[in-house]
Copies of this chain bind each other. A is one copy, B any other.
Amino acid sequence: MEKKTQKHGKSVVKMRDVAALANVSIATVSRYLNGNLDRMSADTADRVADAIDKLNYVPNSAARQMVKKSSGLVAVVAGNIDDFFSTEMFKGINAMLESKGYIGVLFDSNSDLDREKHLMQIVSNQYFDGAILQPYNTVQVIRETIKRPMPIVMADREIEQSPWPQVVTNNYEVARQATQYYKDKGFKRVIMITSSLSMAANRRDRYYGIQSVINNIDVLEVSEKSYNHKKVLEQLTTLINGSQEDTLIFALKERWLTEFIPRLFYMGLIDNDHVAVTGFSDTGTAQYIDAKTKLIAQNPYLIGASSGEIMLNMLEGKHRDPEKIVVPAKFG
């Protein structure tokens, strides 16, 4: 056995130990590790392999990174990992990254501006090859925070004057389209359920999209962090009964769909004729609320995959303009 005296017992076996046991130089071991097998006899390679195995040698990635200037790691800073959207986007990102040997690691802003900033600092200070952000801070803050020049992609949340490539959704258009569908069926009024803060830009675009078709909108704000379920239900009931017009309930986020709507159906408040419901949906869970309900389906996985693809391009030096890619959501 080798000495293992370092902090936390980290193995102290290094390349030179392997080299010694295999009776070769460290250069040969390095070559073996990096797959340059063509410059080495099969016998040598075998001996090196054996030695590595016997000693349980693990390369020191910090040393390798220092000279290679790359870690193979891409940081993904998500808005809130409790959201299916964020996690599914991450899966999409990784699907792309891993095809080229990179791997994404996930950080959670927890819907907190300061925390997001803190995470960006860490990402900037650690050895990541690139960063994909689902950002809430402004371009300026991001610029000041991530000091180290590195490839950056903005995912999901549109940001003004972005110097980085973006991948976004057609929030305005699809909200407009959905609203139009119900307007054509005679609905003249909207109750919009939204969270109070998160994803301001997306929320705003959706709101405008609705408004461009139906102007009569009641907004019900629900706090992401904590709300009184019963009270919200009462508010909804009051709102629904507060008008004779045919009413469309429009949830800007799937969560409000699954948490409130089944109960309203159960209570008989939604009949699809005079009171209907629609909203943005990511998971597919919401679609089972009622057979007649038509929703807006986003594609977080594809947004992630696109972001990942752009990141790969940047990593390979094909620097791209700060283009904006739109991954459309679909209504129906």
Contact = CB atoms under 8 A, between A and B. Distances in A.
Interface of A: 4, 6-11, 56, 58-63, 65-66, 69-71, 73, 75, 81-82, 84, 87-88, 90-91, 94, 103, 105-108, 110, 122, 124-127, 129-130, 147-151, 229, 255, 258-260, 262-263, 265-266, 285, 288-289, 314-315, 317
B94 A88 contact: no
A110 B91 contact: yes
- Which 3 residue pairs spanning A and B have beta carbons closest together? A262-B262, A106-B106, A62-B65
B6 A69 contact: yes
Contact of A81 (B56, B66, B90, B262): B90
A54 B127 CA distance: 22
B58 A87 contact: no
A80 B105 CA distance: 14
Contacts of A8: 129-130, 149-151, 314-315, 317
Given A8-B151, A8-B317, A289-B262, A94 B108 contact: yes
Nearest to A94: B108
Nearest to A105: B105
A149 B11 contact: yes
A73 B69 CA distance: 19
8 contacts: A10-B69, A10-B150, A58-B148, A62-B65, A73-B126, A75-B105, A82-B84, A258-B258
B87 A108 contact: yes
Q: How many copies does the complex hold?
A: 2
A265 B263 CA distance: 10
A213 B7 CA distance: 49
Given A10-B148, A11-B148, A149-B11, A90 B61 contact: no
A147 B81 CA distance: 30
Nearest to A83: B87
A305 to B, nearest CB: 15
Contacts of A90: 81, 108
A70 B65 CA distance: 14
Contacts of A75: 105
A322 B285 CA distance: 39
A6 B259 CA distance: 51
Contact of A149 (B4, B107, B148, B285): B4
A279 to B, nearest CB: 15
B288 A149 contact: no
Contacts of A58: 124-125, 147-148
